[in-house]
Amino acid sequence: MKAISDYQNKKVLVLGLAKSGLNAARLLHRLGALVTVNDAKDFHENPDAQALVEDGIRVISGHHPVELLDENFELMVKNPGIPYTNPMVVRAQELKIPIITEPELAYEVSETDWVGVTGTNGKTTTTTLIGLMLNAGGQVAHAAGNIGVPLSQVAQDAKQGETIVAELSSFQLLGITKLHPHIAVLTNIYEAHLDYHGNRENYVNAKMRLTMNQTADDYFVMNWDLPEMHDLAKRSAAQIVPFSRKHADGARAYLNADGMLCFDDEVIMAADDLKIPGNHNVENALAAIAVAKLHGIDNAAIVHVLSSFTGVKHRIQYVTTLNGRRFYNDSKATNVEAASVAITAFKEPVVLIAGGLDRGLSMDDLVPLMQKHVKALVTYGETAALMVQAAKDAGITAINRVTTLDEAVPAAYKLSAEGDVILLSPAAASWDQFHTFEERGDLFIADVAKLK
């Protein structure tokens, strides 16, 4: 970790806890900052707040008092999930207090090169694959960030010559200023998080912040199958490294006509040998291959990872086979695009479990995919009525609307037959009934276990 003095005796407000806020507060305290933490959760039900008080850090919890900002803070480190419309954030902006997110703080103390990965879908799988490939090739890589491991924790331990592979969400990227990955990866861009960003243009601009500090000595790995990327590439000063599943001209990492994964015209392995299903995972593998080859990783290490990796938890994660039915947990599918990817990943008939928070988005894009791949639907949550209508529009007659996920799993089993796939792919966020998509996925796994 770099020994920096920038935060010595600097008054910093950490807004919002969870993993990022907890670790940011501890790092700032270690750097000599005068830290105040403000979290909405009641102190007596807030073990993170209690732990920080034991560390000697000031914590104000239970509400967000706007008057707190009258204490002349010099910086706000904002939890990424807190929107910029929050009264505390609005007041900080009025007072011209700089606002950053935890990855920016981590970058400032980091001694290592960074690979930054963002995109609407595929971020976690791609981040994980890159980390595994670099480590398999004899290098030392640390996968962290939105993947679930706080960057401010990893950055303190990662040494010179190692690599931090950072999964970065659009929420996190809005709070960076200096963060400069040597290699940036943009897996794809679809319509998502418009309730947070306001419109698609803002969302795209947030994603593109990943490359804003890159120079001609850096690399920007982009999905060349999406025409929008060709225009976005012009906004980056980095060397563009395109990848393509659909044989796009100019791609360096690509799937050839014989179904082989290639880089710079060198065949690496057959796509059919990937252990993770779906065309989207071919794209994730190509993005990871591009980064690995730019790092000088040999083909044997890449093949070893891609032929043994069985998936990230909650992302089309194989759970078990029961009486000829295969169960998959895709709780991370918090939007229609992600669910579309999962639904089309299987050749077998799919019994789909879907539903969740209603963000006012249409489910119409699911209709043709459901028509082709889904034999039955079980739905619950705020978007249940939308899912029912989509299924009816797709001509599906086996539809069961229930109240909770606990009810949905046995209902899906009853609608299934031997040889089917039972897939949890909600096409919606989890926050109507769960705190996180991880909690939703864990419950699904537990409910599947109960069927036995």
Which residue has tokens 């926050």?
A: 431
Residue 200 CB partners (closer than 8 Å, separation 6+): 191, 194
Q: Which residues are annotated as a binding site for ATP?
A: 119-125
Q: Which residues are annotated as a binding site?
A: 119-125
User: Of the candidates 79, 81, 34, 38, which has an alpha carbon nearest to the alpha carbon of residue 59?
Assistant: 38
What is the biggest distance separating any 2 CA atoms in the chain, rounded to whole angstroms?
A: 65
* 3-state helix, strand and coil shares in percent for the chain, rounded to the nearest 5: 40, 20, 40
Tokens linked to 374: 């889904």
Tokens linked to 69: 């900002």
CB 309 within 8 A of CB 277: no
Q: How many CA atoms lie within 13 A of 28 on its CB side?
A: 31
- Please return the burial class of 70, using the count of CB atoms within 10 Å of its CB with bins 0-12, 13-18 and 19+: exposed
Sign of CA dihedral 254, 126, 426, 365: negative
Neighbours of 256 (CB within 10 A): 12
- List helix spans (H) across 13-120: 18-30, 47-54, 87-94, 102-109
Amino acid identity at 416: S
